[in-house]
Structure 1
């Protein structure tokens, strides 16, 4: 969300099971928060799911969006949207050969993932980013998946509330982008966040994302320590030395 707001004034919207949060920012590289507002959802409004539409009470959902946007006192209606990780999946994927164009890439990824998922991959909206192209021609990709029924419901209800969703992304990556100018000063490092019940671990090597993990879990210190330690053990097993 924040990275979409860097070049000019823009409006960000975060949706979670707890409620809705708006942020209006401007300022180019020196990001400046101009206004912000959070409102809670009525219990039972939203139930996070990777397969089923999330909004249980569309009327309450749309009403809360309209109320929050009205109270923000802004004319901006185009929004960059952050969704919880529990609404989709993100993974790193290595392929043996690069592809001619983006459409061919999407087809190859769908074919590659078809055997790995217990549902029809054609019902999923898929996007990817090329992280690295190796000397042997293989590529490393960051792939995001979200059910079409899930994302379509969000888009339709946002439009019903008078908003225009332009970008939709997951919260963990938008949190990373907020800190990326400082983190990118080093080619090797890690970004760890615990936000709204989701622990996320990103590990970078040579400036390339080499490990990604997110897990909905409790916030007790000993539990978070165990999960973070487990993530680094898995990373070290895959990337010894």
Structure 2
């Protein structure tokens, strides 16, 4: 059994997290590894997948041809010189749901916390919450009110097992499972001023708001331009989060030439896009590197 989704977001890495990660998307398999200090990149490798081998979804089977996908994984791991027995598995954002909850007097008992979370989300998550794989992080006191804020990540257990089984058949254990956007955010250090973070994947765009340097909102959309994906998030920031003005725009994207879309976004939002570090690494590898807690500031 893997440790779960989103074991942490921006905290100090934990020693038990594997040193290598593999991300699967509908278009690519991506592998990245770090050294034991987690301050150096040991390997990066990526290969394209034929269309239709993986279909990302939380509601239906994802792996359409396990033999071909498994063969591609095995070949890429060999290319990256992976020789371990445990790996971090980075899942497509489409397979997971991210939610924010407020608890007035949360129990300190983890089992009771999970029971509360499942109860709160039962009517809002479009799959069975009771059997879902769930992980959460208590963010801290709610701004301007009583209680604490909790970030929750959920994914149908059957979907997670599809991906885990690919590695089990190679005698590799998925030591941690994390959605792609939350993996990227492990590399992100929110600067002063409120920030909008865009993660552009193969099949969707996610938008995340950091207000007062704390994650406050997450949204996932498909088949939308970057501006159309961002605009509702900006409105939510202004109306619901009472934001007074975004000051930073960060983008992590691959699989497409997004320069024209970023130009439109810059013109309409009045913000210059910035990349998430490390700057000398292609964005396609950043979810995998974030999931293994690369301390990239040491690379500067």
Query: Is the CA contact 1:63–1:161 (under 8 Å) kept in the aligned structure 2?
Result: no
CA distance in 1, matches of 2:238, 2:66: 45
Q: Which of 75, 78, 103 is the matching residue for 2:83?
A: 75
Check the 8 A contact 1:5/1:26 in 2, yes or no: no
Shift of 1:140: 0.8
What's the CA shift for 1:165?
A: 1.0
Deviation at residue 186 of structure 1 after TM alignment: 2.4
In 1: Cα distance, 2:181 partner to 2:108 partner: 30
CA distance in 2, matches of 1:120, 1:27: 38
CA–CA separation in structure 2 for the residues paired with 1:72 and 1:175: 20
Select between 231-240 and 118-127 the one with higher mean Cα deviation. 118-127
What is the aligned partner in structure 2 of residue 93 from structure 1? 101
Task: Specify the alignment match of 1:233 in structure 2.
Answer: 235
Instruction: Please state whether the residue corresponding to 2:135 is helix, strand or coil.
Output: strand
- The equivalent of 1:216 in structure 2 is 222
Per the alignment, do residues 43 and 192 of structure 1 end up closer, same or farther by CA in structure 2, a change over 3 Å counting?
closer
Q: Partners in 2 of 1:32 and 1:217 — Cα distance?
A: 36
Is residue 43 of structure 2 the alignment partner of residue 43 of structure 1?
no
The CA distance in 1 between the partners of 2:100 and 2:48, in whole Å, is 34
Q: TM-score, normalised by structure 1?
A: 0.85
What runs of 5+ residues in structure 2 fail to find an aligned partner? Answer: 1-5, 245-300
Residue 186 of structure 2 is matched in structure 1 by 177
Select the residue among 140, 159, 164 that pairs with 1:150.
159
Match of 1:121 in 2: 129
Higher share in helix: 1
Larger strand percent: 1
Relative contact order, higher structure (CA 8 A, sep 6+): 2
Q: Decide whether aligned partners of structure 1 residues 37 and 118 sit closer, same or farther in structure 2, where only a CA change above 3 A counts.
A: closer
TM-score (norm 2): 0.69
The separation in 1 between residues aligned to 2:14 and 2:157, in whole angstroms, is 29
Distance across 1 between alignment mates of 2:203 and 2:122? 30
Shift of 1:15: 0.7
**Distance across 2 between alignment mates of 1:212 and 1:117:** 14
- Paired with 2:211 and 2:186, the residues of 1 have a C-alpha distance of 17
Structure 1 residue 11 displacement after superposition: 0.8
- Counterparts of residues 182-201 of structure 1 (less than 5 Å): 183=190, 185-186=191-192, 188-201=194-207
1:64 equivalent in alignment to 2:66: no
SS of alignment partner, residue 123 of structure 1 = coil
Kept in 2, the 8 Å contact 1:46–1:54? The answer is yes
* Aligned partner of residue 157 in structure 1, secondary structure: helix
Structure 1: which 5+ runs fail to align?
none
RMSD: 2.7
Seen in structure 2, the aligned counterparts of structure 1 residues 100 and 38 have a Cα distance that, compared at 3 Å, is same
